[in-house]
Amino acid sequence: MGMRDELFSKWIEAMKEVKFPVSSVDEVYAGLPKGAESNISVGGLVVCNTGDLFGRFIKPTDFPIESAQALANLILDRAGL
């Protein structure tokens, strides 16, 4: 499994409690166990922080976002993965 696939799977799992569609990053944070302080790890290493990712790659004009898959793809595309 490549890095993109692994990160995609981790994001989908992390967002299982988020109620889509969402209209803001705050709605996503509300469904994450640690909100903006949530981290995604690959191979035991923290590779990204949710708050940092959203600050870098998500724009207010991206909303509404219809699904966890759409959000994960948006972030991964903009991150160049």
The pLDDT value recorded for residue 51 is 85
**CB count, 10 Å around CB of 2?**
8
35: left (phi > 0), else alpha (psi -120 to 50), else beta?
left
pLDDT, tens digit, for every residue of 5-64? Answer: 988 998 898 899 999 999 999 999 999 888 888 877 777 776 778 888 888 999 999 999
Query: What is d(CA 63, CA 52) in angstroms, rounded to the nearest whole number?
Result: 18
Question: pTM (2 decimals)?
Answer: 0.84
pLDDT of residue 1 exceeding 70? no
Q: 31 with 24: CB under 8 angstroms?
A: no
Q: Which domains does the chain have, with CATH numbers?
A: 3-78 (1.10.238.80)
